[in-house]
Amino acid sequence: MANRTTAYLSALIVFLVDQASKWAVAGPLGLTREGDFITLLPIFNFTRVHNEGISLGMLQANSDLGRWLLVAMTGAIALAVAWWISREDKRGDQLALSLILGGALGNIVDRVRFGYVLDFLDLHFGAWKPFYVFNVADAAISIGVVILLLRALFVREKAPEGTNEHA
C-alpha cells in the first residue's frame, strides 16, 4: 500500500509542478499571448503555444464539443491509469504510471480552464525543431510511457522460488 501512496503522491507532485510552471510562464514571465517567447539558450526558448489537440497535433478540438470530448477521453484514460496504479505491484511501473497520471491531470485542467493546453518548452537547433513545443505534463507522460515500454521489453521479474517457469 505504501508504494501506491507514493505513486499517487508522485502524480500530485508532477501535477503541481506542471501547473506552477504554466502559471510562471503566463504570469510573472509575461508570456500572455500565443507566440510570445523568451530566449533562454541558443537552442531553447519559452514560447507560448495553445494546443487544442492531443500529442503531435492530432485530434484538434476546434469546437466546444471537441474540447469536451477530449476532456472526457483524457479523463477516462486518467481514471484507467489511476485504477492501474491501484492494482500494480511493481514499483517501477507505479512510478511510470504516476508520471502519466500527473501529466494527464495537468493537461486536463488546462483544457477545462482555457479550452487548450498551454505549451511553452521549445527546443530547437536553428530552424530544425525535433519536437513540438511541449510542457512539463507532456514530458512526464512521454517519460512514463518510455519507462513502461522499456520495462515491458527488458525487465524480467524473478519467478518465486519453488516454481518452474518453463513448465
Q: Active-site residue numbers?
A: 119, 138
Q: Give the cell for residue 51.
A: 494546443
Distance CA 34, CA 89 (A): 43
Cell 522499456 locates to 150
Q: How far is CA 24 from CA 73, 124, 152, 160, in A?
A: 28, 21, 36, 49
Task: Provide the total of helices (H) and of strands (E) in the chain, helices listed first.
Answer: 4, 3
Cell of 109: 485542467
**Under 8 Å between Cβ of 56 and 67:** no
> Strands of 117-123's sheet, edge to edge?
37-41, 44-51, 117-123
